[in-house]
Chains A and B, each alone.
Chain A
Amino acid sequence: MTSINLFSQILEWMPFVLQGFALNILMSLLAIAVGTLMGTFLGLGQLSTLKPLGIPSKLATQLFRNAPWLVLLFYCIFLMPYQVNIGGVVIQLPSWLRATIGFSFPVAANFSEIVRGSVNSIPRGQWEAAEALGYSRRATLFRIILPQCITRMIPPWMNLYALLLTATPLSMIVGVEEALGRTQAAVQAQGDSRVLIPMYLALLAMFFFYTWPINRLSLVVERRFRTK
């Protein structure tokens, strides 16, 4: 078989792999949404002066940040039920959805640290000035500090999203049919060892051309928002 035939053969399998890649993107979008929401609460909890709120938030953040993604994924895959029954409505939890929930935990912990870090990066003087003007701690945080933090949180948040997307193929190990699992299936179906390198290179290229612009953009945004 000539190299042109080999090329067209690989091209034939690309839609199959790209459909898997769409699942990667879907999982990453859902996980970043859920993770950001949970992380916001965890991060605000970390900043709380109330001990019953602050200490559990810090512990949860450290736990989910330092545990390997794959271990958290195994927890969610093995320990979560296949279906949940909410008030008589049975909701099926397919493995890709359970994997997405598994990814949202480390995302939440990382975002919690982004929130805490950006709040701490605001000079102390602003807290003191607000206190002198008679603002309460809550009003200072929500009306003075956090509005400035949003722009500082966007670049690390984009990097977190890129990191999350590159973690989604881990779900292949627990049987989710995403891009890596589909590439492997496609290679086996073709039964030709010459397609191995081009197929995996194509997969690497998919991830690269999706993630690289995000990381570049985050650098641009960071420069744009940098305050001197």
Chain B
Amino acid sequence: MITEIQTYFRELAASGINLTIFYDAFDFDRFVTGFGNTLLLILISAACSIAIGAAGAAVLTLGKGPAPACIRGYVALFRNTPLIVQMYFFYFAVGSIMPVGRNELGLPQPLIGSFSWAVISLSLYAGAFNVETFRAGIGAVHGSYEEAALALGYNRRQAFFSVTVPLALRFSFASLANNLVDLTKATTVAYAVGVAELLYVSNQIWSDSLNTIEMMNVMLVIYLTLTAAVVFIINRVEAAMRLPGFGLGDGQ
């Protein structure tokens, strides 16, 4: 089976479409590693950014004193500056004052590598957008729900977490899907700090095999599939959590 696929793509290469990743074991390995790193970047950063967004929105709604102002500053700062500059700032500037460990050969090796910095800056960037999304979701829940909960003897915190948040989450899905699609697209920026993700390995492969156009098309198809998958997953979660008689589509 595998040899048949390899033979097919070798013949295809002879006719002009050179997809080395399907018959060259070395290129295939590199490509799979890159794809795996892209998936890891998406999954870890998405989880962290949702956590940051939820915590930020909760502080904005419940917090008192300087905490909400800090969150607003963080959101404004990260939304209005380029992701790539943030990543450079973290990787080169902040990274330069971080402690340096030693690897098994005794050579200096930073404790936080390029992959970790990429995850940190992607999470903070997407997290800033998620704070806005969740805050808007909380704002979309009608005040009468909280009042009803307070009348039933809930305190403000309980009413927020048991009544407002579950409803707000359902208002946030459309915008959250948008943010996660943007995050998926933004993982390509990790290329700039040398994370071996999909764009990086594709660039290596086309530099070695001189099949730029083919690799770019493969990469484009993969990113379109990934963004479609993100939208599909969010829609499935949204459908699973749908409450009959509540939501935008039900004439609330």
Interface residues in B44-101 by Cβ distance below 8 A to A read 76-77, 79-86, 88-89, 92-94, 96-97
Q: Are A200 and B93 in contact (CB under 8 A)?
A: yes
- From known contacts A166-B80, A170-B189, A200-B93, infer whether A71 and B223 are also in contact, taking CB-CB under 8 Å: yes
A193 to B94, CA, bound (A): 11
Q: Are A215 and B79 in contact (CB under 8 A)?
A: yes
Q: B192 within 8 Å of A by Cβ?
A: yes
Residues of B within 8 Å of A63, CB to CB, are 224
| Residue from the set A162, A169, A180, A207 with the largest chain B CB neighbour count within 10 Å | A169
Q: B181 within 8 Å of A by Cβ?
A: yes
A196 to B187, CA, bound (A): 24
Closest to B227 in A: A66
A166 to B88, CA, bound (A): 14
Contact of B188 among A66, A70, A180, A196 (CB under 8 A): A70
Q: A84 within 8 Å of B by Cβ?
A: no
| Residue from the set A71, A172, A187 with the largest chain B CB neighbour count within 10 Å | A71
- From known contacts A66-B185, A69-B185, infer whether A173 and B192 are also in contact, taking CB-CB under 8 Å: yes
Q: How far is the CB of B126 from chain A (nearest CB, A)?
A: 14
Interface residues in B210-228 by Cβ distance below 8 A to A read 212-213, 216, 219-220, 223-224, 227-228
Residues of A within 8 Å of B224, CB to CB, are 63, 66-67
A194 to B201, CA, bound (A): 33
Closest to B181 in A: A66
Residues of B within 8 Å of A200, CB to CB, are 85, 88-89, 92-93
The contact string, 1 if C-beta is below 8 Å from chain A, for chain B 172-208, is 0000000001001111110110000001000100000
Closest to A204 in B: B81
Q: Are B89 and A204 in contact (CB under 8 A)?
A: yes
- From known contacts A66-B227, A71-B219, A78-B216, infer whether A201 and B89 are also in contact, taking CB-CB under 8 Å: yes
A115 to B199, CA, bound (A): 31
Q: How far is the CB of B203 from chain A (nearest CB, A)?
A: 8
A168 to B94, CA, bound (A): 23
Q: Are B81 and A211 in contact (CB under 8 A)?
A: yes
Q: A93 within 8 Å of B by Cβ?
A: no
Residues of A within 8 Å of B219, CB to CB, are 71
Q: How far is the CB of A201 from chain B (nearest CB, A)?
A: 7
Residues of B within 8 Å of A86, CB to CB, are none
- From known contacts A71-B199, A74-B216, A78-B212, infer whether A169 and B84 are also in contact, taking CB-CB under 8 Å: yes
Contact of A172 among B84, B86, B96 (CB under 8 A): B84
Q: How far is the CB of B94 from chain A (nearest CB, A)?
A: 7
Q: How far is the CB of B30 from chain A (nearest CB, A)?
A: 17
Q: A87 within 8 Å of B by Cβ?
A: no
Q: Are B188 and A208 in contact (CB under 8 A)?
A: no
Q: Are A196 and B93 in contact (CB under 8 A)?
A: yes
A197 to B79, CA, bound (A): 20
A172 to B228, CA, bound (A): 28
A173 to B189, CA, bound (A): 9
Contact of B83 among A74, A79, A166, A184 (CB under 8 A): A166
| Residue from the set B81, B86, B92, B181 with the largest chain A CB neighbour count within 10 Å | B81
A79 to B227, CA, bound (A): 24
Closest to A72 in B: B220
Q: How far is the CB of A180 from chain B (nearest CB, A)?
A: 6
Q: Are B216 and A173 in contact (CB under 8 A)?
A: no
- From known contacts A63-B224, A66-B227, A70-B199, infer whether A207 and B189 are also in contact, taking CB-CB under 8 Å: no
Interface residues in A209-228 by Cβ distance below 8 A to B read 211-212, 215
Residues of A within 8 Å of B181, CB to CB, are 66
B residues touching A (Cβ–Cβ < 8 Å)?
Answer: 76-77, 79-86, 88-89, 92-94, 96-97, 181, 184-189, 191-192, 199, 203, 212-213, 216, 219-220, 223-224, 227-228
A residues touching B (Cβ–Cβ < 8 Å)?
Answer: 63, 66-71, 74-75, 78-79, 162, 166-170, 172-173, 180, 184, 187, 193, 196-197, 199-201, 203-204, 207-208, 211-212, 215
User: Could you list 4 further interchain pairs (A-B, Cβ under 8 angstroms) beyond the known A67-B223, A70-B191, A200-B92?
Assistant: A78-B212, A166-B80, A173-B191, A201-B89
Q: Can you offer 13 A-B residue contacts whose CB atoms are under 8 A?
A: A69-B185, A71-B220, A71-B223, A74-B216, A168-B82, A173-B191, A180-B85, A184-B92, A196-B93, A197-B94, A200-B85, A200-B89, A211-B81
